[in-house]
Homo-oligomer: A and B are copies of this chain.
Amino acid sequence: MADEDRPGASTAALARIQTLPSWLLNRASARGRRLVAEALARDGMRMPHHAVLSAVADLGPVAQAELGRTTGFDPKDMVGILNDLQAQDLVSRAPDPSDRRKNAITLTPAGRRRLARLAKLGDEANETLLAALTPAERELFLALLTRVVEEDA
């Protein structure tokens, strides 16, 4: 009789799965997304919009494709995100004179003010997310997490 057919061979299968790094990361990520989404929603904003707004703030006038590469969003989704941001006058979308294929995305003053508020909300949500850890543990956790992520490159 093979191990896998013996009754009880797979017991604690659930417990094993739920302590797997991938499972825990999923739950932690879901919690982070929920906390951040709730925080940003208090200012009528969503996570991708916050990320793109931040990227525009850093990269000055920048093409959509470059924004996509930097933030990891799909070009298709970038269109919609920028449509939303532009509709709220947080960014301006003007044709790039030096390359007429590109749109030059720029942060508006309103966008800069909004970003300051969003950054605060995002920080608070992340504070809550890691509330269970001491400052030293958070630093360690982030260092380990960064190495796991960078393995992806």
Q: Which A residues have a C-beta under 8 Å from some C-beta of B?
A: 2-5, 9-17, 19-33, 35-36, 50-51, 53-55, 57-59, 70-71, 107, 109, 112-113, 115-116, 119, 122-123, 125-126, 129-133, 137-138, 140-142, 144-152
- State how many copies of this chain the complex holds: 2
CB pair A13–B144 under 8 Å, yes or no, is no
The A interface, classified by DSSP as helix, strand, loop or mixed, is helix
CB pair B122–A150 under 8 Å, yes or no, is no
CB pair B57–A5 under 8 Å, yes or no, is no
Q: Which residues of B contact A138 (CB under 8 A)?
A: 21
> Which of B3, B21, B58 has a CB less than 8 Å from the CB of A130?
B21
> Which residue of B is nearest A37, CB measured?
B22
